Amino acid sequence: MPKFKRILLKLSGESLAGAQGHGIDVQRLNQYAEQIKDALATGVQIGIVIGGGNIFRGLSGAGKGFDRVKGDQMGMCATVINSLALSSALGAQGVKSRVLTAIRMEPIGEFYSKWKAIEAMERGEVAIISCGTASPYFTTDTGSSLRDIEIEADVMLKGTRVDGVYTADPEKDPTATKFDEITYDEVLSRGLKVMDITATAMCKENGLPIYVFNMDVYGNLKKVLDGENIGTYVHA
């Protein structure tokens, strides 16, 4: 796997909940911050997008009677809460970061632009980009694909609680086998749940590779950057 100059790290909101299953697990948050600090020390530039599923998910809210647009907007706000939490944890580690929001909400965060994010990363800060695409009906996976392409990152590192892409859900099917690498077309034709179809298609159209790995195992982010094969590489 090639070395990267600039990455976009996509973090799962659910993973941030840790063992408690909801909200923010402080131990998990601090572990993420430590891993990001170690990654930054290698000289790589880092942008981050975090989901909000540990707090609220618009699609599941719609199934409980919420208006879908308002539900998705609540989900966008959840990503801001997670982004602020990560920024605070990074600050405690001595790492400078900047929270950028795709919806205006100063002074909570700066209004996102590609150039603000790149400027922050080139100064050695971590750019944490929240609110997804700022539009309803799009997931944070699609938001991370969009931001990854915009900030001209070399790869999307998709940190999950599973160590790669499998033929089936390994948490439900013990016979599932893991791919070391796979093409976008195969992901789409097999209906594999790497990301939603919109996000995967966007990565395919723009030639953006995705590396799926288990972020919940301490030290894995540094291993990925060092070129260790611990996940699944998705490419053209």
CATH number of the domain residue 231 falls in: 3.40.1160.10
Strand partners, 143: none
Band (pLDDT 50/70/90 cuts) for residue 2 is low
d(CA 133, CA 111): 13
Q: What is the pLDDT of residue 61?
A: 67
pLDDT (tens digit per residue) in 30-45: 999 999 999 999 999 9
Q: In this structure, are residues 203 and 185 in contact, taking their beta carbons and an 8 Å threshold?
A: no
pLDDT mean over 62-85: 91
User: Measuring CA to CA, which residue among 197, 192, 140 is closest to residue 165?
Assistant: 192
Q: What digits encode the pLDDT tens for the residues 88-143?
A: 999 999 999 999 999 999 999 999 999 999 999 999 999 999 999 999 999 999 99
- Any residues with CB less than 8 A from the CB of 194 and at least 6 apart, and which? 158, 165, 187, 200, 210, 212, 234
Count CA atoms closer than 13 A to 175's CA, side-chain side: 0
Token pair belonging to 156: 């999307």
Q: What is the structure's pLDDT at 57? A: 77
CB 46 within 8 A of CB 87: no
* Domain around 129: 6-235
134 contact partners, CB below 8 Å, separation of at least 6: 76, 102, 103
How many separate domains does the chain show? 1
pLDDT band at residue 236 using 50, 70 and 90 as cut-offs: very high
CA 12/CA 29 separation, integer angstroms? 11
Domain assignment present for 59:
yes
pLDDT of residue 1: 57
Query: CA 94 to CA 117: how far, in whole Å?
Result: 19
Residue 73 pLDDT = 94
Helix, strand or coil, per DSSP, at residue 172 = coil
Report yes or no on 37 lying in a domain: yes
Total-model pTM: 0.94
User: Does residue 160 form part of some domain?
Assistant: yes
Helical packing angle, 68-92 and 26-40, nearest 10° = 60
In a domain, 134, yes or no: yes
Compute the average pLDDT of residues 14-19: 91
Report the distance separating Cα 162 and Cα 95, nearest Å.
Answer: 27
* CA–centroid distance for 70 within its chain: 22
Across 163-185, average pLDDT:
93
What's the rounded Cα separation, in Å, for the pair 230 and 161? 13
Supply the pLDDT for residue 100: 98
> Residue 224 above 80 pLDDT?
yes
Asked whether residue 1 is assigned to any structural domain, the reply reads no
Does residue 218 belong to any structural domain of this protein?
yes
* Assigned domain for 118 exists: yes
